[in-house]
Amino acid sequence: MGTISVTVLGQPYNNFAMNQRVLLYVEDEDAAVFLLETALKEADIDVRLYRVADGDEALAFLRKLGPYSDMPRPDLVLLDLNLPRRNGLEVLSEMRNSEDLRSLAVVVFTSSSLAVDKRKSLALGAQEYITKPASFDGFVTAVKNACSHLTNGHHPVH
């Protein structure tokens, strides 16, 4: 089984392998974060996992502002849409309007199954839109699909 490294934000991250991919999960629900950690273990996906709980924190992390100044650049952002302070579509829009952030891979990973949310997300440049399934097996499959967009340099994970 692969190892999952969950980092308490603000702590040093200097003890992980240089080639280990970095995943930023933007999610306000603790239960969803626990499910993701469990699904990553089940799927044997080895990543350094970071989590922020709202849209403003996501942009601060990505821009390395304040307490996030030493955080690594993620290889993939898993972005929920239903977030406090600034929703996922607003985060995605700001990312795509930023020269420094527009090249980051983003998969919208949300409970919303609204067609309008999917259209807007893909129009704003999300690589994929995945509605979180209700079953754990479905969740593991969805995580595998999302993580297929992980890059290490510029090479997707297979």
pLDDT digit string (tens) for 7-33? Answer: 444 444 444 455 689 999 999 999 999
Predicted confidence band of residue 4 (pLDDT cuts 50, 70, 90): very low
The predicted structure's pLDDT at residue 18: 56
Q: Is the pLDDT of residue 61 over 90?
A: yes
pLDDT, residue 150, reads: 82
Q: What share of the chain is helix, strand, coil (3-state, %, to 5)?
A: 35, 20, 45
Q: How many CA atoms lie within 13 A of 135 on its CB side?
A: 3
Element of type H or E holding 152: strand 151-152
Q: Kindly give, in sequence order, each residue whose CB lies less than 8 Å from that of residue 2, ignoring residues fewer than 6 positions away.
A: 40, 41, 44, 45, 46
* pLDDT tens string 68-126: 999 999 999 999 999 999 999 999 999 999 999 999 999 999 998 899 999 999 999 99
Question: What CATH homologous superfamily does 4-156 map to?
Answer: Response regulator (3.40.50.2300)
pLDDT in tens, 116-149: 999 999 999 999 999 998 899 999 999 998 998 8
Q: Could you please report the per-residue DSSP string of 14-32?
A: TTS-TT-EEEEEE-S-HHH
What is the predicted pLDDT for the residue at 104?
A: 94
Q: Beta strand pairing status for 21-26 and 76-79?
A: parallel
What pLDDT does 6 receive? 42
pLDDT at 153 over 80: no
Cα–Cα distance, 127 to 145 (Å, whole number): 11
* Phi (first) and psi of residue 6, to 5 degrees: -100, 125
Instruction: Please state whether the predicted TM-score (pTM) of the whole model is above 0.75.
Output: yes
Looking at 12-87, list the stretches that DSSP marks H as alpha helix, in order from N- to C-terminal side.
30-42, 55-63
Where exactly are the structural domains of the chain?
A: 4-156
Tokens read off for 97 = 């309007």
Q: What average pLDDT does the segment 51-68 reach?
A: 95
